[in-house]
Structure formats: structure tokens, C-alpha cells
Amino acid sequence: MIELIPAIDIIDGKCVRLTQGDYDTKKVYNEDPLEVAKMFEDHGIRRLHVVDLDGARAGHIINYRVLERIANRTALIIDFGGGLKKSADLEIAFESGAQMVTGGSIAVKDPDVFTSWIEQFGSERIILGADAKDGKIAVSGWEETTGEELLPFITSYHKKGITKVISTDISRDGMLGGPAIEMYKEIRQAIPGVYVIASGGVSSVEDIEKLHEADVPAVIFGKAIYEGRIKMNDLIKYNEK
């Protein structure tokens, strides 16, 4: 059964969503991310994806206090990302209650540092963020597209021990137009040992069902819940493992 991972994106300590990573599209959905996290947990959710959007823009961890509150007051397994550039940032994230962290831009811009994290903290605690635009890796809050091809990029880190990858087709993020199922199939076929976490474009329970049928192991979703397109009660069957 596909693993469900709701997302909580944070700006100024509030639960927000952006469209295609554009900060000018910010929409606040709840003043208190903990309230949202508890709602997810009450409906059987076990995993949570928390993104520090302030941190992503600043280049260092900022909203760790929000992470700490969620970790201390729920039993959710949390992965945390956004602006993690130094080992000290990871240490703060782990001390604040994250079980895993996600690194994307750093894996492209400073592979030696990212590789050192795998060695220092263990590959089971590090998730590779592999976000793509037209098949090329995008970084820095998606404001910059690189020349790195998606599949070779993931393959190179899989060889270094990475087992979990969050991959987003940027053109679909926040657009509620459906996930990039073919892209995930390609990743699964090319690198079968990687636990692929789909992200971006999920607009309905049907989209989650399609990912499940395509044998995608996990999915991150957010806007569809916040906009009322997916009801938590519709997801109960996926949480009954």
C-alpha cells in the first residue's frame, strides 16, 4: 500500500503553500502548523514532510521551533528540509525531532558535503531531493535549473548509499493537475532499489490510486488537502496497514 506523507510548508511559523515554488504565490492555510499536524495524526497518518521555506530562502535552518513543537506533541515520523547547508543545520533538525532530513540543492552544488552527511548521519536518515524541470535538476527553491539529468543524478547518489528520493516535477507542483506518473515509472525502472516518494500535482484520491497502481512507494501531497479536494476520511484505507 502506498505510504501517505502530507506536507506542511512553513513561512513565518505558519502553514502555507506556494505554487511552483514561487514565494509571491504564498497562501496561508493555518496560523498553527501543530494544529494541522495533529489533524493528520488523528486521521491515521504516520509520516509528515515539513519544509522550512524561510530556511530555503535564507540558506540555513530557521523554523526549527515549529518542528520541535510538532515532534514533541505528536508521534509522527517527520522528515525536514529547506535551507540545510551545514552539518550544524542537520544537528539542529535532528535535535528538534526530525527523524530524517531532505537535501536537494546542496546535493547538486556541494556533493562533497552531501556525501559527508550520508557518512556522518547514516543513509537511512538522509533523503535525496531530486526536483526536475524538463528532465533537468532544479535547485535553490526551484529558481535555478541545472544541466544535471534526473536519472544519472539519482543513480550517482544511490551508489553512495541513498535509498530514499523525493522527486517533484516542478511544472506540476501546486497546480493540482495530476502527478508525473511516467517520470516515477522511469525512476523505478532505472533504479529499482530506490524508495521513490512522489511529490507535486496530486489533486484527488484518484491521483493517489494511480500512483499506487504504478507501484510508486510513497506520495507527498498538500494543496489538495488544504483546498478540500481530498478529504481525510477518503484516505483511511491507505492508512490501514
Look at residue 75 and tell me whether its pLDDT is greater than 80.
yes
Catalytic residue among 54, 79, 131, 207: 131
Catalytic residue among 9, 52, 89, 169: 9
pLDDT, one tens digit per residue, over 182-215 is 999 999 999 999 999 999 889 999 999 999 999 9
Q: pTM, whole model, 2 decimals?
A: 0.93
Query: What pLDDT is recorded for position 50?
Result: 98
Our answer to whether residue 9 is catalytic in this structure is: yes
Sole residue written with cell 535551507: 83
Look at residue 139 and tell me whether its pLDDT is greater than 80.
no
Q: Which of 149, 25, 162, 44 is nearest to 103 (CA)?
A: 162
Look at residue 74 and tell me whether its pLDDT is greater than 70.
yes
